[in-house]
């Protein structure tokens, strides 16, 4: 098996058992796939720039992090953690670089940023997570991660903030069969950094999460809590850690565990954990990916875990109902009793999970099929507040369904709705069956008819429809149900089996568009071709604009909306060069 290096290795973060197979688009001709808005709906979208290609071999890699907006000196800057070790700010109108900060690395090492940083509101701070590799000849030459670091940038001074000495992350916990160390070479920080902040905090606490590239064993889900207040005062930066699967025996070192229920539980969702305000405090919801689920052993792969400041965790399941539980087939009574743990399952009365490819004909129950296809992880739930004041989570994991979960009692599954079919048939092989059909965090729009939730889906075959699915969240007879509001493109047309054949960006809602109406923006990525920026009317899915990107775009990233402008990272190839593209949405 060819080793993955540099940006190529990072781009394989979906835990593929082998190298990411490029989409064969030989049958796709854009002149045949050209849904156009009606004249009354058409919206002018003007490309403002792409930024200059990251200059030189030192900064030639792709940018995987999502861009952020920062206001300084009366102007908007687009701040981005670039792939090859810099954080740069670009003028929002011209795309010209305003300033750049190199991330600190030891001699002989090269910094590489993957995760989206976090801006600490009001404090003019940017918290950046990154790793280092061996540097040589001025370029990235190794995919071996030597250390994982966190630094804080002073956004006003455009430098590393001297109050926060950059910290190397390390931890060892006592697990089953022995100690479980945090191993830098077997971890990757893909998830966006998030910050929880109480009214009494000056800066709050930052949370950095990890899975591993291609699920290479031993790998686990790790989360680190950094107390920014204590750190800035000269105290310890890391205030708490937690691991999702405290197992010391993960099988042969270096083997892929992506299709095994052993260790795992990577916290790699690009959106990072969900932060939910609770009075004067906050809680975190952690989306743990594929791996070992065993409540008796404290292994929580394939779940949502609720924790709080300090990262304590107890699933709060009924011990009588969960005694002797089968990890491969947990009972509904047990998992429904868990207050702080959500375990996906098929509700009573729903059809079995049975892909048309036949890949799971001999694999039941549910989790056997999920393990075979690596259909968990990668998606952060959206918090939805209903008209009654009740709060629910809407989760769209890789299995092509949407789940509605009671936000106060995670064991309560309120609804499950299929978004798209499972990839592949017996005649049309799924070219990336490990990829699933959704990796995202839904966007939410409140409307007089109830909340709308938007989920981009994708499909690595040429048979099944995929695209953007809008769901209406309705309260009914004391319960909560999902109803399909619209899809783009129409799942009844030919375009739906030719568009969205690869991972798109995450969605971005523009709440006040140029016409005063909410719009949804999603980037479609196409290997070897220019990507497409789709702009839709959010209320009914009407196409407003179809805009070719300058480059291919970047999967998993979320476009940034600033007033009437959209910004998103783009990459010419899997190895770079990377840019930020800017667009203006006009009338």
- pLDDT tens for residues 326-340? 888 889 999 999 999
Q: Please give the backbone phi and psi of residue 551, each rounded to the nearest 5 degrees, phi first.
A: -120, -160
Q: What is the mean pLDDT of residues 197-211?
A: 97
Does residue 443 or residue 373 have the better pLDDT? 443
Q: 342 pLDDT exceeds 90?
A: yes
User: What share of the chain in percent tops pLDDT 70?
Assistant: 91
Give which of 522, 583, 529, 526 is closest to 557, Cα–Cα: 522
pLDDT of residue 271: 98
Phi-psi group of 272: left, alpha or beta (phi > 0 → left; psi -120 to 50 → alpha; rest → beta):
left
Query: Average of pLDDT values for 60-78?
Result: 91
Query: Is it the case that residue 169 has pLDDT exceeding 60?
Result: yes
Two tokens, residue 1: 């098996």
**The sheet that has 382-385: what strands, in order across it?**
382-385, 391-395, 401-406, 413-418
Residue 569 near residue 63 (C-beta atoms within 8 A): yes
- pLDDT bracket for residue 143 (50, 70, 90): low
What confidence tier does 230 reach under pLDDT thresholds 50, 70, 90? very high
For residue 9, is pLDDT > 60?
A: no
Q: Could you tell me the residue ranges of all domains in the chain?
A: 6-34+103-321+329-505, 35-67+507-587
Q: How far apart are CA 283 and CA 300, in angstroms?
A: 18
Q: What is the pLDDT of residue 375?
A: 83
Separation between Cα atoms, residue 122 and residue 319, nearest integer Å: 45
Beta bridge partners of 225: 207, 240
Q: What is the pLDDT of residue 60?
A: 54
pLDDT value at position 529?
Answer: 85
| Three-state SS at 269 | coil
Read off the pLDDT of each residue in 221-226 and give the average, rounded to a whole number.
Answer: 98
- Of 55-69, 389-403, 456-470, 551-565, where does mean pLDDT reach its minimum? 55-69
Q: Rg for the chain (alpha carbons), in Å? A: 22
Rounded Cα gap, residues 353 and 349, in angstroms: 12
pLDDT band at 30 (very low <50, low <70, confident <90, very high): low
What gap in Å lies between CA 395 and CA 93, rounded to an integer? 35
* pLDDT of 311 above 90: yes
Residue 31 has pLDDT above 80, yes or no: no
Measured at the alpha carbon of residue 443, what is the angle toward residues 565 and 281, in degrees to the nearest 5?
105
If you count them, how many residues does the chain have?
587
For 77, the token pair is 């800057």
SS3 8: helix
Name the average pLDDT for the chain.
Answer: 89
- Six token digits for residue 538: 């959010």
Q: For residue 422, what pLDDT is reported?
A: 95
Residue 8 above 50 pLDDT? no
Q: Helix or strand or coil: residue 491?
A: coil
In our burial notation (b when 16+ CB lie closer than 10 A, e otherwise), range 55-85 reads eeebbbbbbbbbbbbbeeeeebbbbbbbbbb
What whole-number distance in Å separates Cα of residue 537 and Cα of residue 543?
6
Q: Where are any strands of DSSP class E within 164-237?
A: 167-168, 172-175, 178-181, 194-196, 205-210, 222-227
pLDDT value at position 478? 86
pLDDT tens track for 458-471: 999 999 999 999 99
Contact 104, 150 (CB under 8 A): no
Higher pLDDT, 307 or 142: 307
User: Residue 197: what pLDDT?
Assistant: 96
Identify whether the C-beta of residue 525 lies closer than 8 Å to the C-beta of residue 533.
Answer: no
Which residues are within 8 A (CB) of 468 and not within 5 positions of it... i.e. 6 or more apart? 454, 455, 456, 457, 487, 488, 500, 507, 520, 522, 534, 536, 541
Are 2 and 20 in contact by the 8 Å Cβ rule? The answer is no
Alpha carbons 269 and 188: distance in angstroms, whole number: 11
DSSP states of 324-374: T--TTS--HHHHHT-SSEE---PPTTSPP---TT-TTTT--SHHHHHHHHT
Q: What is the pTM of this model?
A: 0.93
pLDDT 10s digits, 512-543:
888 789 999 999 998 778 899 999 999 999 99
Q: Note the pLDDT of residue 224.
A: 98
List residues bridging with 413 in a β-sheet: 405
Strands lying side by side in the sheet with 97-102 = 68-72, 75-82, 86-91, 97-102
Average pLDDT on 74-98 reads 94
φ and ψ at residue 394, rounded to 5 degrees: -115, 115
Cα distance between residue 250 and residue 467, in whole Å:
37
List pLDDT tens digits, range 241-265.
999 999 999 999 999 988 888 999 9
- Cβ neighbours of residue 394 under 8 Å, at least 6 residues apart? 381, 382, 384, 402, 403, 404, 405, 442, 444, 453, 471, 473, 482
Picking from 25-34, 130-139, 378-387, which range would have the lowest pLDDT averaged per residue? 25-34
Answer yes or no: is pLDDT of 501 > 90: yes
Choose the weakest-confidence range: 39-53, 126-140, 299-313, 386-400: 126-140
Q: What is the pLDDT of residue 294?
A: 94
Percent of the chain residues past pLDDT 90, beyond the cut: 74
Q: Is the pLDDT of residue 1 over 80?
A: no
Distance between CA atoms of 559 and 554, rounded to whole angstroms? 10
Is 141 a residue whose pLDDT tops 50? no
Provide the greatest CA pair distance for the chain: 66
Q: Where residue 10 falls among pLDDT bands split at 50, 70, 90?
A: very low
Burial class (CB in 10 A: 0-12, 13-18, 19+), 304: buried
The pLDDT, as a whole number, for residue 165 is: 97
Strand ranges for 137-201 from DSSP E: 139-140, 147-154, 159-160, 167-168, 172-175, 178-181, 194-196
Residue at token pair 């905090």? 201
CB-based contacts of 247, cutoff 8 Å, min separation 6:
175, 176, 177, 180, 220, 262, 263, 292, 297, 299
* pLDDT at 191 (0 to 100): 97
């Amino acid at each position: 098996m060819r080793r993955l290096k540099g940006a190529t290795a990072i781009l394989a973060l979906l835990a593929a058992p082998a190298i990411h197979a490029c989409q064969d688009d030989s049958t796709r001709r854009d002149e045949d796939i050209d849904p156009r808005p009606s004249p009354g709906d058409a919206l002018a979208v003007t490309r403002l720039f792409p930024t200059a290609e990251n200059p030189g071999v030192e900064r030639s890699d792709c940018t995987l992090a999502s861009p952020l907006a920062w206001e300084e000196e009366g102007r908007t800057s687009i701040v981005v953690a670039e792939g090859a070790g810099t954080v740069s700010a670009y003028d929002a109108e011209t795309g010209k670089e305003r300033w750049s900060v190199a991330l600190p690395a030891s001699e002989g090492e090269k910094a590489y940023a993957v995760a989206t940083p976090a801006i600490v509101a009001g404090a003019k701070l940017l918290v950046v997570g990154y790793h280092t590799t061996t540097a040589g000849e001025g370029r990235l030459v190794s995919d071996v991660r030597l250390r994982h670091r966190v630094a804080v940038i002073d956004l006003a001074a455009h430098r590393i903030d001297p109050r926060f000495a950059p910290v190397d992350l390390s931890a060892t916990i006592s697990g089953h069969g022995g100690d479980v160390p945090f191993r830098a070479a077997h971890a990757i920080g893909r998830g966006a950094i998030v910050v929880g902040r109480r009214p009494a905090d000056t800066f709050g606490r930052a949370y950095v999460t990890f899975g591993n590239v291609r699920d290479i064993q031993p790998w686990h889900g790790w989360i680190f809590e950094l107390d920014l207040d204590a750190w800035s005062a000269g105290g310890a930066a890391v205030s708490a850690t937690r691991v999702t699967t405290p197992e010391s025996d993960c099988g042969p070192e270096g083997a892929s565990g992506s299709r095994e229920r052993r260790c795992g539980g990577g916290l790699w969702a690009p959106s990072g954990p969900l932060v939910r305000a609770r009075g004067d405090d906050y809680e975190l919801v952690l989306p743990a990916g594929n791996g070992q689920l065993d409540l008796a052993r404290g292994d929580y792969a394939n779940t949502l875990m609720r924790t709080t400041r300090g990262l304590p965790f107890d699933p709060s399941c009924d011990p009588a109902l969960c005694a002797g539980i089968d990890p491969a087939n947990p009972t509904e009574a047990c998992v429904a009793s868990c207050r702080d743990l959500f375990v996906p399952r098929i509700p009573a009365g729903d059809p079995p999970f049975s892909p048309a490819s036949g890949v799971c004909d001999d694999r039941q129950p549910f989790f056997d099929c999920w393990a075979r296809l690596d259909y968990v992880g990668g998606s952060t739930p959206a918090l939805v507040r209903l008209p009654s004041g009740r709060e629910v989570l809407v989760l769209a994991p890789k299995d092509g369904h949407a789940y509605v979960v009671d936000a106060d009692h995670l064991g309560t599954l309120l609804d499950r709705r299929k978004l798209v079919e499972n990839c592949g048939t017996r005649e049309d092989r799924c070219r990336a069956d490990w990829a699933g059909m959704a990796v995202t965090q839904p966007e939410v729009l409140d409307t007089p008819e109830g909340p709308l939730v938007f989920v981009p889906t994708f499909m690595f075959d040429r048979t099944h429809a995929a695209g953007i699915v809008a769901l209406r969240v309705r309260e009914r007879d004391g319960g909560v149900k999902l109803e399909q509001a619209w899809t783009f493109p129409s799942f009844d047309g030919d375009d739906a089996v030719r568009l969205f054949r690869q991972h798109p960006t995450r969605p971005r809602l523009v709440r006040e568009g140029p016409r005063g109406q909410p719009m949804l923006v999603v980037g479609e990525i196409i290997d070897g071709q220019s990507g497409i920026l789709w702009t839709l009317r959010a209320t009914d899915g009407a196409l407003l604009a179809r805009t070719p990107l300058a480059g291919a775009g970047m999967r998993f990233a979320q476009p940034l909306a600033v007033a009437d402008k959209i910004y998103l990272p783009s990459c010419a190839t899997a190895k770079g060069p990377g840019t930020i593209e800017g667009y203006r949405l006009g009338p």
